[in-house]
């Protein structure tokens, strides 16, 4: 029975509240980042799909570089290195900025892939009926592509929720950070805290993945 003692000590209402506060930060940071990444990634993906000269190639270079770097590095860089060239920011801003940069690159690929999956015939049909390229994109291609992209984008949001935990290294007061504060009190607290943290992440992410799967089924 003694091994249960740390569990009882950890699973108090105050601790749960503290963990939930951290989780609220995780959700907030992730939500802001996903919205920003969606817009920025969407723009980049569309521009690359449209093969605008020079700009597309430049964006391709930027996207490929960012996608191939560890997110941890981008976070450290945003918070600790940018101040050296005059760009200071708060912890949560830096976390959102780093996550957005990384996720935009990821989402731009999803969007580019989604757009590419629409048969070229649609563009020709659109233009043949008198629409400009941009109008064709807006009214014909994008709506179809966006519908297909919802599942992978929900997947990306799940990744984002998990990736926010990396911001613990710049002291973002998210779920993992608050969990660390609790188990720093006593060595025996480590296991109980990890169990509850993992469950919290799991419940939310699993629920989201079920939503994604349902959406995927609705499409076909």
Instruction: Name which of residues 99 to 128 contact another protein (CB under 8 A).
Output: none
Q: What are phi and psi of 160, to 5 degrees?
A: -65, -45
Quote the least distance from Cβ 133 to another protein, whole Å.
14
Out of 7, 9, 27, 32, point to the residue binding another protein (CB under 8 A).
32
The piece of 44-52, 54-62, 74-82, 117-125 that touches another protein (CB under 8 A) is 74-82
Query: Is 157 near another protein (CB under 8 A)?
Result: no
C-alpha pair distances (Å), 40 with each of 35, 36, 138 = 9, 6, 16
Are the C-beta atoms of residues 33 and 213 closer than 8 Å to each other?
Answer: no
Quote the least distance from Cβ 121 to another protein, whole Å.
20
Quote the least distance from Cβ 187 to another protein, whole Å.
4
The whole-angstrom separation of Cα 149 and Cα 151 is 6
Query: Is 131 near another protein (CB under 8 A)?
Result: no
Query: Is 172 near another protein (CB under 8 A)?
Result: no
The torsion of the CA quartet 148, 154, 159, 165, rounded to 10 degrees, works out to 160
């Amino acid at each position: 029975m003694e091994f249960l003692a740390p569990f009882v000590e950890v699973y108090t209402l105050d601790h749960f509240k503290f963990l939930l506060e951290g989780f609220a930060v995780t959700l907030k940071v992730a939500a802001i980042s996903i919205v920003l990444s969606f817009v920025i990634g969407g723009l980049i993906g569309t521009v690359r799909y449209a093969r605008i000269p020079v700009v597309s190639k430049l964006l391709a270079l930027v996207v490929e570089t960012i996608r191939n770097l560890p997110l941890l590095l981008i976070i450290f860089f945003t918070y600790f290195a940018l101040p050296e060239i005059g760009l200071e920011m708060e912890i949560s801003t830096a976390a959102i900025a780093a996550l957005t940069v990384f996720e935009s690159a990821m989402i731009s690929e999803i969007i580019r892939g989604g757009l590419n999956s629409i048969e070229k015939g649609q563009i020709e049909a659109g233009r043949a009926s008198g629409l400009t390229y941009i109008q064709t994109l807006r009214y014909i291609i994008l709506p179809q592509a966006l519908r297909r992209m919802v599942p992978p984008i929900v997947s990306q949001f799940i990744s984002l929720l998990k990736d926010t935990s990396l911001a613990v290294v710049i002291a973002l007061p998210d779920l993992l950070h608050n969990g660390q504060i609790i188990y720093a009190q006593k060595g025996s607290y480590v296991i109980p805290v990890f169990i509850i943290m993992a469950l919290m992440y799991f419940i939310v992410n699993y629920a989201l993945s079920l939503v994604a799967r349902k959406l995927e089924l609705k499409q076909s």
